[in-house]
A and B are shown apart, each in its own frame.
Chain A
Amino acid sequence: MTTYFNEMFQDGEVRIPYARLEGWTKRMPDALRHMKQAEAEALFRRIGITFAVYGEGGDPDRLIPFDMFPRVFTAAEWARLERGIKQRARALNAFLVDVYGRGEIVRAGRIPAHLVYRNAAFEKSVVGFVPPKGVYSHIVGIDLVRTGPDEFFVLEDNCRTPSGVSYMLENREIMMRMFPDLFRENRIEPVDSYPLLLRRTLASVAPAKCKGDPTIVILTPGHFNSAYYEHSFLADLMGVELVEGQDLFVEGEYVWMRTTEGPKRVDVIYRRIDDAYIDPLCFRPDSMLGVPGLMDVYRSGGVNICSCPGAGVADDKAVYTFVPEMIRFYLGEEPILNNVPTWQCAKEDDRKYVLENLKDLVVKEVHGSGGYGMLVGPKSTKDQIERFHARIKDDPGNYIAQPTLALSTTPTFVNEGIAPRHVDLRPYCLVGERVELVPGGLTRVALTEGSLVVNSSQGGGVKDTWVLAE
């Protein structure tokens, strides 16, 4: 029987960060709780935040359940996480500059060449180009799980366009509206500076050709995209234009935006479109979402694209294994946050171990996301395990395996009252001239009893995440 770390109760005692929440729950009778829950849902509906997190697909109009019970970190806990997250974000960017340059880490034999250069996310067309300030990934979403008081593991890195930050902001907004007393009783670090910091980060990586205040836009694939709400929300909060491909065009050395007052030069594009679609001249010729000629302007220094095309090679699940090595190689430091031990099914010894221990392991597809195409051994039937056995043997390179982690739980409101449910955490690290992190992130919670899968497509919800001031 696995024991799970409960973030609120340890040995029958309430842990310090949650001290003031015990009284709060006691003062809240069921009837009031139901009322508040309905109110929260109505608020979420009104603001229209219904998208699926992390591009998981599913019904775009479905509301992701919001759990009112906050998840809390102490200042000391957060300080360590912050150092670890920033360290990782720096190393990932150093790796990207290196592999699109001389590839020292490959030459030094610290990571196999094929994992980098034959990676589907490796972008040959940007080799030799160093983006402004040497930053490829400006918003690094790092998915963390906790297994004990001081034990955190990085599940995966997201260097392209991690989504979900609007939940972090809206969850806080709604909690403050519904429970203002809680925010007087607890000294909670604010997260609402995120849009300002994001804007400052993007402005700090404007190309050298841009003089003065850079013009920033968010490039969205359009309103049918599941994260469209987040795109327009961030554009609003940052005070920048939300554009689609057809609103931009290339002329001469620059990218221009059509406006009612005529064309306006664009300096920084925060794109929420995948690499393959941003420029039909460079990538998929059939793409209608992008801007023809954009990549030439980018590579000749006329505009910056955030995240930079090609950034995805750093967050691939097979490359993930080497992030601790990147931290040592580029920063000369020891990793503050640990990776989950990972077996590569492509390696014969690893594969043998994985196939023999499927019932205890979590198996993931190398390029999969959203909790699909994944096997949670201990929670699977014999049949499911056998099917995965065959799939791994068929295409071993496509799979990695990890031990089933004893994900921590936090108290969560359920039908029967309050019960522990498993959670993870995605903080959003900003990398520009400076590396910054707002104290908080998105906590996802597996609402189904016993479930370890927090993805919203599989019954996951979200929580407000608090970091207490000293």
Chain B
Amino acid sequence: MILTVEHVTRYGYDRPVRGLVQSHRMTPASHEGQRVIDWEVGVSDGLAGGSFRDGAGDRVTSWSVIGPVSQVEVTVRGRVETKDTGGILRGHRELVSPHCYLQATALTHPDDALLALAEEARALPEVLDAAHLLCERVAKAILWTPGVTQSQTTAAEAMSQAQGVCQDHAHAIIAAARAAGMPARYVSGYMLAEERQDAAHAWAEIHVPNLGWVGFDAANGCCPDDRYIRIASGLDAQDAAPIRGWARGDGQERLEVAVAVQTVEQ
């Protein structure tokens, strides 16, 4: 399938800032499940800085904007040809050891409910079965409800609220998987949708012996297929954030996001 992406992030400041610096992970890498046809990231009045592929295989690009400026727009446009690999990440060039993804973070610290889930998963002899079990349990435990949680909500909080969005599902899977001794990470990306969205998508990846990294999307109750574009990974949402920025100045920041992911009729 060929997917097109248009993703606009607009930062507004009530008082102009003297300048800003951003670190982007917004460019997909090609692997068996996806081939990048064209992809472009632009920053209004931005100066592109260094760009490199990091150890996890993600393209990082640095941007700076020389102020004063009160509005900055980050635009992503691209086309990717995708293929269903049953959620298995194959042919992705990366060097980071799966062991690095066993470490809990503030957002993925497991509470008793998550530890109980981990126990249940650990009882299964096959890691792949355990991973599927976690995905199912988390989907049931956290009802997809936008607007209830925010970017700083932890996995444990989302579990006790029993409501959340894709970020919360991913965090909960990751927290339980790590507690069960399975390396797990957060993946940011896009998913085909009929309507415009106000956020990009996210899911979890669990490392399965002999298979490698396998994606699990509890929000949609499936493994990523050809409707998905994988962008970047990290220990949690903060670590995998598509944009990390720093503005010089004391202006209050407003954020608007619009995402459109569509198919091209072939």
For B238, give the chain A residue with the smallest CB separation.
A285
Within the complex, which residue of B23, B50, B97 is in contact with A281, where a contact is CB–CB below 8 Å?
A: B23
Residues from 23 to 80 in B contacting A, C-beta threshold 8 Å: 23, 47-56, 60-62, 64, 66
A300→B50 contact, CB < 8 A: yes
A296→B99 contact, CB < 8 A: no
B47→A251 contact, CB < 8 A: yes
Q: If the complex has contacts A251-B47, A296-B49, A300-B52, are A118 and B64 also in contact, measured as CB distance less than 8 A?
A: no
Q: How far does the alpha carbon of A281 sit from the alpha carbon of B248 in the complex, in Å? A: 13
Give, as a whole number of angstroms, the nearest-CB distance from B248 to chain A.
8
Give, as a whole number of angstroms, the nearest-CB distance from A292 to chain B.
4
B55→A282 contact, CB < 8 A: no
- CB of A239 within 8 A of chain B? no
- CB of B100 within 8 A of chain A? yes
| Residues on the B chain within 8 Å of A113, using CB | 97, 99
- CB of B264 within 8 A of chain A? no
A297→B60 contact, CB < 8 A: no
Q: If the complex has contacts A122-B100, A251-B64, A293-B64, are A127 and B55 also in contact, measured as CB distance less than 8 A?
A: yes
Within the complex, which residue of B51, B95, B238, B246 is in contact with A300, where a contact is CB–CB below 8 Å?
A: B51
Residues from 73 to 122 in A contacting B, C-beta threshold 8 Å: 100-103, 106, 113-114, 116-118, 122
A118→B100 contact, CB < 8 A: yes
Q: How far does the alpha carbon of A254 sit from the alpha carbon of B48 in the complex, in Å? A: 11
Residues from 117 to 176 in A contacting B, C-beta threshold 8 Å: 117-118, 122, 124-129
| Residues on the A chain within 8 Å of B238, using CB | 285
| Residues on the A chain within 8 Å of B22, using CB | 281, 293
Residues from 219 to 266 in B contacting A, C-beta threshold 8 Å: 235, 238, 244-246, 248
| Residues on the B chain within 8 Å of A282, using CB | 23, 244
- CB of A312 within 8 A of chain B? no
Within the complex, which residue of A106, A125, A280, A297 is in contact with B246, where a contact is CB–CB below 8 Å?
A: A280
- CB of A253 within 8 A of chain B? yes
A128→B95 contact, CB < 8 A: yes
Q: How far does the alpha carbon of A80 sit from the alpha carbon of B99 in the complex, in Å? A: 39
Q: How far does the alpha carbon of A292 sit from the alpha carbon of B66 in the complex, in Å? A: 14
- CB of A420 within 8 A of chain B? no
Within the complex, which residue of B54, B60, B62, B102 is in contact with A118, where a contact is CB–CB below 8 Å?
A: B102
Q: How far does the alpha carbon of A113 sit from the alpha carbon of B19 in the complex, in Å? A: 42
| Residues on the B chain within 8 Å of A285, using CB | 238
Total interface residues on A, CB under 8 Å, equals 36
Give, as a whole number of angstroms, the nearest-CB distance from A464 to chain B.
45
| Residues on the A chain within 8 Å of B49, using CB | 250-254, 293, 296-297, 300, 302
Q: How far does the alpha carbon of A106 sit from the alpha carbon of B235 in the complex, in Å? A: 22
Give, as a whole number of angstroms, the nearest-CB distance from B236 to chain A.
12
Within the complex, which residue of B21, B50, B99 is in contact with A253, where a contact is CB–CB below 8 Å?
A: B50
- CB of A389 within 8 A of chain B? no
| Residues on the A chain within 8 Å of B64, using CB | 250-252, 293
| Residues on the A chain within 8 Å of B53, using CB | 128
- Counting chain B residues whose Cβ lies within 8 A of the other chain, the interface size class is 20 to 34
B62→A300 contact, CB < 8 A: yes
Among B53, B60, B66, which residue has the most Cβ atoms of chain A within 10 A?
Answer: B60
| Residues on the B chain within 8 Å of A379, using CB | none
Residues from 413 to 444 in A contacting B, C-beta threshold 8 Å: none
| Residues on the B chain within 8 Å of A114, using CB | 99, 102
Give, as a whole number of angstroms, the nearest-CB distance from A305 to chain B.
14
- CB of A301 within 8 A of chain B? yes
For B57, give the chain A residue with the smallest CB separation.
A128
Give, as a whole number of angstroms, the nearest-CB distance from B22 to chain A.
8
Q: How far does the alpha carbon of A129 sit from the alpha carbon of B97 in the complex, in Å? A: 14
For A298, give the chain B residue with the smallest CB separation.
B50
Give, as a whole number of angstroms, the nearest-CB distance from B4 to chain A.
28
A299→B54 contact, CB < 8 A: yes
Q: How far does the alpha carbon of A251 sit from the alpha carbon of B99 in the complex, in Å? A: 35
Give, as a whole number of angstroms, the nearest-CB distance from A129 to chain B.
7
Q: If the complex has contacts A282-B23, A293-B62, are A299 and B99 also in contact, measured as CB distance less than 8 A?
A: no
Q: How far does the alpha carbon of A97 sit from the alpha carbon of B100 in the complex, in Å? A: 17
Q: How far does the alpha carbon of A282 sit from the alpha carbon of B245 in the complex, in Å? A: 10
B100→A124 contact, CB < 8 A: yes
B60→A299 contact, CB < 8 A: yes
Q: If the complex has contacts A125-B54, A129-B55, are A297 and B62 also in contact, measured as CB distance less than 8 A?
A: yes
Among A106, A116, A281, which residue has the most Cβ atoms of chain B within 10 A?
Answer: A281
For A302, give the chain B residue with the smallest CB separation.
B50
- CB of B199 within 8 A of chain A? no
- CB of B103 within 8 A of chain A? yes
Q: How far does the alpha carbon of A292 sit from the alpha carbon of B51 in the complex, in Å? A: 16
Residues from 76 to 113 in B contacting A, C-beta threshold 8 Å: 95-97, 99-100, 102-103
Q: How far does the alpha carbon of A293 sit from the alpha carbon of B64 in the complex, in Å? A: 9
Q: How far does the alpha carbon of A37 sit from the alpha carbon of B21 in the complex, in Å? A: 53
Among A128, A129, A297, which residue has the most Cβ atoms of chain B within 10 A?
Answer: A128
B96→A251 contact, CB < 8 A: no
Give, as a whole number of angstroms, the nearest-CB distance from B33 to chain A.
21
For B93, give the chain A residue with the smallest CB separation.
A128
Contact string against B for A residues 247-281, beta-carbon threshold 8 Å, 1 for contact and 0 otherwise: 00111111000000000000000000000000011
Q: How far does the alpha carbon of A292 sit from the alpha carbon of B50 in the complex, in Å? A: 14
| Residues on the B chain within 8 Å of A295, using CB | 23
Could you show 16 A-B contacts with beta carbons less than 8 Å apart? A114-B102, A118-B99, A124-B56, A126-B55, A127-B54, A127-B95, A127-B96, A128-B96, A250-B21, A251-B21, A252-B64, A282-B23, A296-B49, A297-B49, A300-B51, A300-B62
Given contact pairs A106-B97, A127-B95, A128-B53, a sample of 14 additional A-B residue pairs in the complex whose CB atoms are under 8 Å apart: A113-B97, A114-B99, A116-B97, A118-B99, A118-B102, A250-B21, A251-B19, A251-B47, A253-B50, A281-B244, A293-B64, A297-B50, A299-B60, A300-B62
Q: Which 6 A-B pairs have the closest CB atoms?
A: A300-B50, A127-B55, A292-B246, A117-B99, A296-B62, A128-B55
Residues of B within 8 A of A (CB): 19, 21-23, 47-56, 60-62, 64, 66, 95-97, 99-100, 102-103, 235, 238, 244-246, 248
